[in-house]
Amino acid sequence: MDFLCVCVCIGYLCKVLVLAAEENVDFRIHVENQTRARDDVSRKQLRLYQLYSRTSGKHIQVLGRRISARGEDGDKYAQLLVETDTFGSQVRIKGKETEFYLCMNRKGKLVGKPDGTSKECVFIEKVLENNYTALMSAKYSGWYVGFTKKGRPRKGPKTRENQQDVHFMKRYPRGQAELQKPFKYTTVTKRSRRIRPTHPG
């Protein structure tokens, strides 16, 4: 029965690939649609870091309802708790000190909200070719988190992905880098031997 299921699945997959080739389907659209979809199955991850603005030369601050990009390295209002909402593309950003969420309202204005359940508080994280990160609104496609040289928020409709105003660099808060080392996996091979405790004779 299992073998039959495998054969059916392989046959279906081949058919889909053939149809895709014939119709010239752009899989980038499919991938983009998947990154917009909520994922309630995968385990959510919570990270602590700062977002350094390429234009202001400072860090994003969540000052309650007010948002700016004037924070110094290690500033308590610049420390952000970033929750991965899906497989790694959608995020919610909360100020660690104020517990307000970074959100974008229908006018494209960046605001802080105490409740981050709205889709206005969800952003799609994009890693750009220049290794900077851009944050696009999940609700208002094409609108990005951006700041002027003085650290003032730009309105979403006035932003574009290729503008330096929307480019950010992730930085660990001062003194926190050593606490956030990546998880190390242990590879087990057939040659690995179990160490048995030696008993005194």
Provide the residue ranges of all domains of the chain, joining segments of one domain with +.
2-36, 45-174
45-174 architecture in CATH? Trefoil (2.80)
Q: What distance lies between CA 45 and its chain's CA centroid?
A: 10
Q: What is the chain's alpha carbon radius of gyration, rounded to the nearest angstrom?
A: 22
pLDDT digits 0-9 by tens, 85-105: 555 589 999 999 999 999 999
The answer to whether the predicted template modeling score (pTM) of the entire model surpasses 0.85 is: no
CB 23 within 8 A of CB 151: no
User: Are residues 136 and 142 in contact, defined by beta-carbon separation less than 8 angstroms?
Assistant: yes
Is the Cβ–Cβ distance between 81 and 62 less than 8 Å?
no
What is the structure's pLDDT at 9? 52
Query: What is the model's pLDDT at position 45?
Result: 84
Q: What is the pLDDT along the chain (201 residues), one digit of tens a residue?
A: 555 554 555 655 555 455 555 555 454 454 444 444 444 444 578 899 999 999 999 999 999 999 999 999 999 999 999 998 555 589 999 999 999 999 999 999 999 999 999 999 999 999 999 999 999 999 999 999 999 999 999 999 999 999 999 999 999 987 665 444 443 433 444 444 444 555 555
End-to-end CA distance of the chain: 55
**Residues whose CB falls within 8 Å of the CB of residue 147, separated by 6 or more in sequence, listed in order:** 53, 55, 56, 60, 68, 69, 153, 154, 165
- What 3 state SS string does the chain have? CHHHHHHHHHHHHHHHHHHHHHHCCCHHHHHHHHHHCCCCCCCCEEEEEEEEECCCCCEEEEECCEEEEEECCCCHHHCEEEEECCCCCEEEEEECCCCCEEEECCCCCEEEECCCCCHHHCEEEEECCCCCEEEEECCCCCCECCECCCCCECCHHHCCCCCHHHCEEEECCCCCHHHCCCCCCCCCCCCCCCCCCCCCC
The per-residue pLDDT for 142 is: 96
